A and B are shown apart, each in its own frame.
Chain A
Amino acid sequence: MNEIENKNIVILEISNLKKSFGEINVLDGFNLTLHKGENIVVLGKSGSGKSVLIKCLVGLLKPDSGKIKIFNKDINNQSAIELDKIRSKIGFLFQSNALYDSMTVKENLEFPLRRHWIKINQLEIDKMILQALYDVGLTHTLNMMPIELSGGMRKRIAIARTLILKPEIILYDEPTTGLDPITGKEIIKLMIEIKNKYNTGSLIISHDMNCVKLASDKVAVLIDGKCFAFGNYQELKLNTNPLVKQFFE
């Protein structure tokens, strides 16, 4: 599928999303549209509500108002079974990786497969696990425990776990936070490779400007709970608004 065709397929649509905690309005009318094969980075300061935004997208948090349409389905009006079906098409990379520390790498990757694709046999499961590990360059870690892996390796395994169900949307929560610059660049390279190979649309939450520059097709600047500015990296770099400019200086 070429880039022009991709641009017509909306896979995620967020309209007027609001979420508050007590008196604090974390999201206050946030709007965004993600197309197939597109990487959008949501840029914002720490505590600006970036993680809250993607947690709302997978139903981990319930928004106060607004609409989230994924594959044209409003996720707030779905039954638990329907929501799980939608979730199976979304990969979520947690900031802390969230690998199950009582399971081996193989078991970590097997877990979502067993949940969603109950009818596939062990041979197929093993094949899919090896493919996901191959994609992140860590086939040798199959029987290792998460605790035995470095921070970068854990991030890669977490990416492999998000890839295992062949998602159409990947949500990355601060993918380079806590990594050294070299490993951070490797993870960014991997994210771009995944997008090119699987034609996924990704929403990347980050405040790492290197990640914004290298991984984004478009950037949404989240300020005061709103999508304050939207455009590609070069356009936003030339933006004269001091609130936007502060990120690019």
Chain B
Amino acid sequence: MQNSIRSKTFFNEVGNTSKFIGNFFARFLQPPYEIQEIFKQCYIIGYKSLPLVGLTGFIMGLVLTMQLRPFMIDYGVESQLPAIVGIAIIREIGPVITALIFAGKIGSSIGAELGSMKVTEQIDAMEVSGTNPFKYLVISRVLATTLMLPILIILSDAISLYGSYLGVNIKGSISFNFFWTQIFESLEFRDVIPAYIKTYFFGFAVGIIGCYKGYNSNKGTEGVGSSANAAVVVSSVMIFILDLLAVQISDLLGFN
């Protein structure tokens, strides 16, 4: 009995989320365009996330290099360390870890902000004052996350590789030019393009799930907390599912 209720709730949630996504695509090309709000959200979501994404990226590159180095020495391929780290960061670790950090920071923030606006009737007030709250709040935020996450991931990857360069030089010595030459020589079109394209989907997932959870928040302040929490959990899981799909699709298209 309980399992049937749970599965009913799950399918209801899937149905409502799909409807919400459908609404997004039906409305985002319709005027009026909330250009000012989109730029504002890009600034908040993109620029203000940069310190956190940069710091985690730097540590990620540094730690990955320091962890890999002893094994590379054991196998006598220490000279390949920049290439291995470069491919790992650009193809997989950079996009996924940055997207997860982004989901934690931005997904929760959108879920809590919209949830709080919902329970304090601010969304109703917006509607009454002649503003379409879906366009103003949801479309602007989802577009901002979709456009900003790929940029953040590129920056994070670059900072990670600088961290990796530092990691290599802690116990060894390698020139800056040689490090970057090794990375760029080992990277191919098929490493960069699929990894870059999937980041748009990660950004969209974080934005749309955060907005859906916040926009449909209820049960007062408790609901706001639940929305923020659910936004992070669901978007994190979605990032892994999308990553899995991206790998499969890249494989089918001959990118792997």
User: Which chain B residues border A55 with CB–CB below 8 Å?
Assistant: 124
Whether, in the assembled complex, A129 has its beta carbon less than 8 Å from a beta carbon of chain B, the answer is no
Closest CB of chain A to B48's CB: distance in Å?
A: 14
B125 adjacent to A94 (CB under 8 Å): yes
Q: Report whether A98 and B125 are in contact in the complex, using a CB–CB cutoff of 8 Å.
A: yes
Contact A115 B121 (CB under 8 A): no
Q: Are B131 and A92 in contact (CB under 8 A)?
A: no
The answer to whether A98 and B130 have CB atoms under 8 Å apart is no
- Complex CA–CA separation, A31 to B131 (angstroms): 29
Contact B121 A84 (CB under 8 A): no
For window 104-163 of B, CB contacts with A under 8 Å fall at 113, 116-117, 120-122, 124-132
Chain A, residue nearest B121 (CB): A98
Chain A positions 93 through 130: 1 when the CB is less than 8 Å from some CB of chain B, otherwise 0 = 01110111110000000011001100000000000000
* In the complex, A207 has a CB within 8 A of chain B: no
- Within the complex, what minimum Cβ distance (angstroms) separates A12 from chain B? 15
Which residues in B have their C-beta under 8 angstroms from that of A200?
A: none
Q: Which of A80, A87, A101 contacts B129 (CB 8 A)?
A: A87
Point out the residues of chain B lying under 8 angstroms from A101, CB to CB.
116, 120, 122
Contact with B along A63-98 (1 / 0, CB 8 A): 000000000000000001000100110101011101
Are A60 and B128 interface neighbours, CB within 8 A? yes
Q: Is the CB of B127 within 8 A of A98?
A: no
Contact of A98 among B113, B120, B131 (CB under 8 A): B120
- Could you tell me if A96 and B121 are in contact, using CB atoms closer than 8 angstroms? yes
Q: Name the interface residues of B32-51: CB closer than 8 Å to any CB of A.
A: none
A58 within 8 A of B: yes
Q: CA–CA, A20 to B129, complex, Å?
A: 26
Q: Which of A59, A94, A95 has the largest count of B CB atoms less than 10 A from its CB?
A: A94
Using CB atoms, name the residue of chain B closest to A94: B121
- The distance in angstroms between the C-alpha atoms of A162 and B127, with both chains bound, is 13
* A100 and B121 contacting across the interface, CB-CB below 8 Å: no
| Shortest CB distance A104–B (Å) | 15
Contact (Cβ within 8 A) A60 B131: no
7 A-B pairs, CB-CB below 8 angstroms?
A92-B128, A94-B124, A98-B121, A102-B113, A111-B126, A111-B129, A116-B130
